[in-house]
A and B are shown apart, each in its own frame.
Chain A
Amino acid sequence: MKIEAYVAGIGVLGPGLDGWPSSRAVLAGERPYQPLPTVLPVPTLLSATERRRTGRVIRLALAIAVEAVAHAGLEAAQLRSVFTSSTGDGQNCHELCESLAQPAPEISPTRFANSVHNAAAGYWSIATSAMQPSTVLCAFDASFCAGLLEALVQVAVDEEPILLVSYDADYPPPMSAKRPVPDAFGTALVLTPRRGPGSLARLEGKLCNESFDRLAGPLEALRGSNPAARSLPLLRHLAIGRRARTVIEYLDGSSLAVDVEPCA
């Protein structure tokens, strides 16, 4: 079976990368890259109560998901989803562990509910009324690749459109010393089984042992320091818009080769 899908929408947010249109220009080399701190928008699709309960990671995931779905012009409620993250909500985890280290531990119900790895996917489904199947993955540094593979396989096998949301953000100290992730970065893709009028490119994936692609300069630093930013070589080819093959770092020397074929 061919592991292929069409890219219908893209969302990007990270240091100096504020949405797909401007990121596309940076990744295509039309504009210089300026690695400014990531600006996370307020998640307007959540109710005021829920908004207060969400931290940086959930805001990151929701922002890129919103952008990708809007770009694709599809209904969020109709889309399956794959969320993937190495870290989940590091700030929330830190605060939980601090509370639990007290002689008489006490933690807030909201902090506990937000501690699940699928918190962002849960808020997304509630906010968009999406009842379609959704899964939430982790493969440490390979989390983006594992998510892309799962999304491509779902499209190939079940022939339904899907939203892939890959996101990771920084831990506060002291965890940051053990797991340094400099800032928040995320990529979302809407993938469809068939070519549509708005399709950007066809992707075809294949597991391999080829050496993976790197970028140059500060973009390579970002790729190497945030697990979700391992998507950057693929985004770069989508930005350039020429037929290309990119190899994404997976587990222990294995890789995912992706053939990118622009639809324009």
Chain B
Amino acid sequence: MTPLVLSKFTATSCIGRGTVQTLQSLSGERSGLAPCRFETVRLDTHVGEVAGVDAQGLPQEWRRYDCRNNRLAEIGLEQDGFIAAVEEAAHRLGRARVGMFLGTSTAGILQTELAYRARDPLTGALPEAFDYAGTHNTFSVAAYMRRRLRLEGPAVVVSCACASSAKVFGAAQRMIEAGLIDAALVGGVDSLCLTTLYGFHSLQLCAAGPCRPFDVARDGISIGEAAAFALLERPSDRTASNDVLLLGVGESNDAYHMSAPHPEGRGARLAMEAALLDAGLEPGAIDYINLHGTGTPSNDRSESHAVTSVFGTSTPCSSTKGATGHALGAAGALEAVISALALQHSLMPGGVNTEHVDEALTARYIRHNRGAALTRVLTNSFGFGGTNCSLILGRAG
């Protein structure tokens, strides 16, 4: 692919609002995970909840979109001067020339879950105020943001479970390449809800304590939530050497199982190889890998196998989900932003919470931060249904 620049990016998760707080948490090897106190849920698990989402309001004219997911989107947009950067691009390029590609798995389904508790006892009807299109529908986050930012270009939600907001980079890149748009707002927004908490619990995939990716005693995921965005456009004379470029995107399917990864990481390997091919790079050109690294025994085993088969055992890698939790449909964009921060600040973030790396996992897992000049980083996102996406980011200079 022709490289694109992330001319602006931001992330909000349980480790911070915006890139400054996120970088501080990463630099301090801090985890944002805490025992689950979300809503009425009292499962024995930790979550990465973003503080203050309930207190967030939406602009008056957009009240029909009011739900946890869109509040989190609004918080995310307000950080790092992101709204101003989108406005500047829309003004410079034309509102119809800026596309929007967002990933989410559950959008505002929490609103529906709550509405089902408030059904009319006689008729079973949902409350009058429940707004399906504005909150429940998978597209609701894009519908909200498109109006909020007054963008007029193509807009779509990619909903491929936990690979969603990595895959948006591919969709945006193709549309820019085709010449239909000149810039794209890409990102992911996914928020805590009962479906995912009880769902992953039913599959016995939730860790009791904070998740410990690649640990010999790892016992599952910690569900998180996040809003992470980037503005993608063609590099120009405004692009500085410290800017971060999207260099390659690789996508694949496991074609194996709905909720379990292929044991040897067949699809994951294909995605990483495709990203390298797309970027025109050899495996040795990658300095650090931000793993999908969810912390379930089978996911980490499968991914380690795939990473080793492509990169051997010397490329440093880690999962940042011990810090942020698994932000599901927002994980890809969140970890793309973390990878961009790693490149800009010469920081390989160590995998927090992990104490004893599983010796059966041959990938070179780093538990603590390392300062090192990084030129190129690969980040993995894999999801239910066997859908995989790898992104390669690099410094502009």
Interface centre among A96, A112, A128, A175 (most CB of B within 10 A): A112
Contact (Cβ within 8 A) A119 B117 = no
Q: Are A139 and B157 in contact (CB under 8 A)?
A: yes
> Which residue of chain A lies nearest to B196 when distances are taken between CB atoms in the complex?
A112
- B174 pairs with A123, CB closer than 8 A: no
| Cβ–Cβ contact B386 & A122, under 8 A | yes
Task: Name the A residues within 8 Å of B175 (CB-CB).
Answer: 153
A133: CB under 8 A from chain B? yes
- Residues A135 and B160 in contact, CB atoms below 8 Å apart: yes
Q: Is B266 a contact of A131 with CB atoms below 8 Å? A: yes
Query: Which of A31-39, A102-110, A217-225 binds B?
Result: A102-110
Task: Say yes or no for B152: interface residue by CB 8 A criterion.
Answer: yes
Give the chain A neighbours of B194 by CB distance below 8 A: 100, 105
B199 interfacial contact with A, CB 8 Å: yes
Q: Is the pair B171, A150 in contact by a Cβ cutoff of 8 Å?
A: yes
Residues in B neighbouring A100, C-beta threshold 8 A: 113, 116, 194-195, 198
Using A118-B160, A125-B385, A126-B386 as known contacts, say yes or no to A251 and B146 having CB atoms under 8 A apart: yes
B384, A113: Cβ atoms under 8 Å?
A: yes
Q: Which residues of A175-213 have CB atoms within 8 Å of chain B's CB atoms?
A: 175, 177-179, 207
Distance in angstroms from A57 CB to nearest chain B CB is 13
CB-CB under 8 A for A132 and B252, given A1-B177, A122-B384: yes
Nearest A residue to B250 by beta-carbon distance? A133
A121 within 8 A of B: yes
CA distance A100 to B251 in the complex (A): 34
Q: Which of B8-16, B60-68, B126-134 contacts A (4 or more CB under 8 A)?
A: B126-134
**How distant is B130 from chain A, measured CB to nearest CB, in Å?**
6
Closest Cβ neighbor of B262 among chain A residues: A131
How would residues 363 to 394 of chain B score, 1 for a CB under 8 Å from any chain A CB and 0 otherwise?
A: 00000000000000000000111110000000
**Judging by beta carbons under 8 Å apart, are B174 and A139 in contact?**
no
Of the listed stretches A13-21, A154-162, A239-247, chain B binds A154-162
Known A116-B105, A129-B255; judge A150-B156 contact (CB<8 A).
yes
**Interface residues contributed by chain A, number (CB under 8 Å):** 64
Residues from chain A with a CB closer than 8 A to the CB of B251 are 133-135
Which partner residue on chain A sits nearest B133 by CB separation? A140
- A116 near B252: Cβ-Cβ < 8 Å: no
Give Cα A253–Cα B159 distance, bound, in whole angstroms: 24
Contact assessment for B174 and A3 in the assembled complex, using a CB-CB cutoff below 8 Å: no
Say whether A1 contacts B203, CB under 8 Å: no
Q: Please name all residues of chain B whose beta carbon is closer than 8 Å to the beta carbon of A132 when the two chains form the complex.
A: 252-253
**B253, A139: Cβ atoms under 8 Å?**
no
- Flag whether B259 is at the interface (Cβ < 8 A): yes
Q: Does A86 contact B (CB under 8 A)?
A: yes
Q: How far is the CB of B260 from chain A (nearest CB, A)?
A: 9
Partner of A116, one of B96, B152, B383: B383
B253 touches A134 (CB 8 A): yes
CA distance A144 to B89 in the complex (A): 28
B285 within 8 A of A: no
Known: A139-B139, A140-B133, A140-B139. A126 touches B159 (CB 8 A): no
The winner among B116, B143, B386 for most chain A CB atoms within 10 A is B116
B255 and A125 form a contact (CB under 8 A): yes
Q: Is B397 an interface residue (CB 8 A)?
A: no
* Interface membership of B137, Cβ < 8 A: yes
Least distance between B287 CB and chain A CB atoms (Å): 26
Interface hits, B81-114 → A, CB 8 Å: 96, 105, 109, 112-113
Q: Tell me the bound Cα distance from A93 to B136 in angstroms.
A: 11
The reply on A78 being an interface residue by CB < 8 A is no
Indicate whether A126 sits within 8 Å of B256 (C-beta atoms), given known contacts A86-B137, A107-B202, A115-B199: yes
> Chain A residues near B385 (CB, 8 Å)?
116, 118-119, 121-123, 125
Q: How far is the CB of A171 from chain B (nearest CB, A)?
A: 9
- Listed by A's residue number, 15 A-B pairs whose Cβ atoms lie within 8 Å are A77-B255, A98-B116, A107-B202, A113-B259, A116-B385, A118-B383, A121-B385, A123-B258, A126-B256, A129-B255, A133-B251, A133-B252, A135-B158, A157-B177, A178-B132
Closest 8 CB pairs of A and B: A122-B385, A112-B199, A117-B159, A133-B251, A138-B138, A101-B116, A140-B139, A125-B253
Contacts beyond the supplied A126-B257, A177-B125: 5 A-B pairs with Cβ under 8 Å: A105-B198, A118-B387, A133-B253, A138-B138, A251-B155
